């Protein structure tokens, strides 16, 4: 995997489609050939579809008489047979050299190298969501401070009961979830390994993403109608926080969890 780190350092974009809803085992095949595998199939588009240089995919090798295996590999965008459009990535007889294959895993068995990424990646994804939420709440409260309530004789907007209630609720949600995730991350860094590692990590990441979405929704209510301006920062943050559902462990997509 050193080569992948070197590619990232060199400024090349790496994306992964493993967690997309349509990326079930039957969607892409991998046939062993001398020096590597030939990939065929359709891979769902990712948020980095327009810029990625390397795409992480998994495909099914059904040629082994002892049983099918899942092949985890990275595909070079410039390879022959790769076609990228807005909906998906089409792989037609794409050769992937063996050194770009991360691992092969028998059906029903947990991956090794791939799963070892999760204790670092999933808490980071959760923190990204919470960071978006914190920025949204700060932006919304700043916006509220600059406004006055519409009716005559009213307090300024930040002192109205509805804004105070929403602000307090959002702040408590954010602080509680941040503390929960920080505690888990600290424990993992100290060597703690839960009995159900992937389930614990997935739940923590999903809880952070869900909480962040709640906080951003409350932030929109705090800011009022100005928050839906097409060019406004809150509108962008609202869009960004909802991408937390589209990753390897999206909790509302049982077909992905089953395939994993």
- At residue 187, does pLDDT exceed 80? yes
- At residue 231, does pLDDT exceed 70? yes
- Token digits of residue 62: 């059904």
Residue appearing with tokens 């990535």 = 89
Q: According to the per-residue pLDDT averaged within each range, which of 45-54, 96-105, 117-126 is highest?
A: 96-105
Q: What is the CA radius of gyration of the chain?
A: 22
Query: Given pLDDT bands bounded at 50, 70 and 90, which one contains residue 192?
Result: confident
Please give the distance of CA 20 from its chain centroid, rounded to a whole number: 10
Q: Region 164-168: what's the mean pLDDT?
A: 93
Query: Given pLDDT bands bounded at 50, 70 and 90, which one contains residue 87?
Result: confident
Domain 115-259 in this protein, CATH class: mainly alpha
In the chain, CATH 2.40.110.10 sits at: 2-106
Residue appearing with tokens 């070197």 = 6
CB 59 within 8 Å of CB 78: no
Taking alpha carbons only, the member of 55, 26, 43 closest to residue 88 is 43
In the chain, CATH 1.20.140.10 sits at: 115-259
- At residue 252, does pLDDT exceed 80? no
CA distance 48 to 251: 21
The predicted pLDDT at position 7 comes to: 94
CATH assignment of 2-106?
Answer: 2.40.110.10
Q: Region 105-116: what's the mean pLDDT?
A: 76
């Amino acid at each position: 995997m050193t080569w992948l780190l070197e590619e990232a350092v060199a400024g090349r974009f790496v994306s992964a489609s493993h967690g997309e809803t349509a990326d079930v085992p039957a969607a892409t095949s991998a046939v062993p050939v001398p020096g590597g595998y030939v990939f065929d199939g359709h891979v769902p588009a990712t948020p980095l579809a327009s810029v990625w240089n390397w795409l992480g995919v998994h495909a099914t090798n059904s040629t082994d008489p002892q049983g099918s295996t899942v092949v985890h590999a990275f595909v070079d965008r410039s390879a022959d047979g790769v076609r990228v459009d807005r909906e998906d990535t089409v792989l037609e007889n794409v050769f992937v050299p063996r050194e770009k294959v991360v691992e092969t895993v028998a059906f029903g068995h947990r991956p090794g190298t791939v799963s070892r990424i999760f204790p670092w990646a999933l808490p980071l994804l959760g923190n990204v969501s919470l960071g978006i939420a914190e920025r949204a709440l700060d932006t919304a409260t700043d916006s509220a401070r600059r406004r006055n309530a519409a009716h005559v004789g009213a307090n300024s907007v930040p002192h109205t009961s509805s804004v105070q209630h929403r602000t307090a609720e959002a702040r408590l949600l954010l602080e509680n979830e941040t503390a929960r995730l920080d505690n888990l991350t600290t424990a993992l860094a100290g060597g703690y390994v839960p009995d159900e590692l992937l389930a614990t990590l997935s739940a923590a990441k999903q809880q952070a993403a869900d909480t962040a979405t709640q906080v951003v929704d409350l932030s929109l209510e705090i800011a009022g109608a100005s928050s839906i301006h097409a060019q406004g920062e809150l509108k962008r943050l609202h869009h960004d926080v909802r991408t937390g559902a589209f990753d390897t462990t999206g909790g509302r997509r049982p077909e992905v969890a089953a395939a994993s």
